[in-house]
């Protein structure tokens, strides 16, 4: 088990064009470091996982359950299970940290 991680050095996965997910997880909790290129679009979707998203760099327009907000560094959004949400990255490279429960096994790179 790795007790320490450096997201800048980790290899991530890119399930969507313009998005790279790098993860750290335990059995019941996960965080993902999400790097987003300018202009990238996160299509509307939902999932059974609870999600909390914190913007750490850049600007992210996020829509959750029909409410839209332009999020900046230090702002947080909560996404309950099965609530539709989508996003759009504005004109700058953006990084968010997402917390998940249960973990997103699809975001764990396969060896």
pTM: 0.93
What's the mean pLDDT in 35-47?
98
pLDDT 10s digits, 94-110: 999 999 999 999 999 88
Using alpha carbons, select from 3, 18, 8, 27 the residue that is nearest to residue 108: 27
Domain 19-105 belongs in CATH node 2.60.120.10: yes
Domain spans of the chain, in order of start = 19-105
């Amino acid at each position: 088990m790795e007790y320490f991680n450096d997201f800048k050095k980790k290899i991530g996965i890119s399930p969507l064009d313009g998005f790279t997910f790098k993860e750290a997880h335990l059995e019941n909790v996960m965080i993902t470091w999400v790097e987003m290129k300018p202009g990238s679009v996160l299509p509307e979707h939902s999932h059974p996982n609870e999600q909390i998203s914190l913007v750490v760099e850049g600007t992210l327009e996020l829509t959750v359950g029909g409410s839209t907000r332009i999020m900046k560094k230090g702002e947080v959004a909560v996404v309950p299970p099965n609530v539709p949400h989508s996003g759009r990255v504005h004109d700058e490279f953006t990084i968010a940290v997402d917390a998940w429960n249960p973990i997103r096994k699809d975001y764990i790179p396969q060896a």
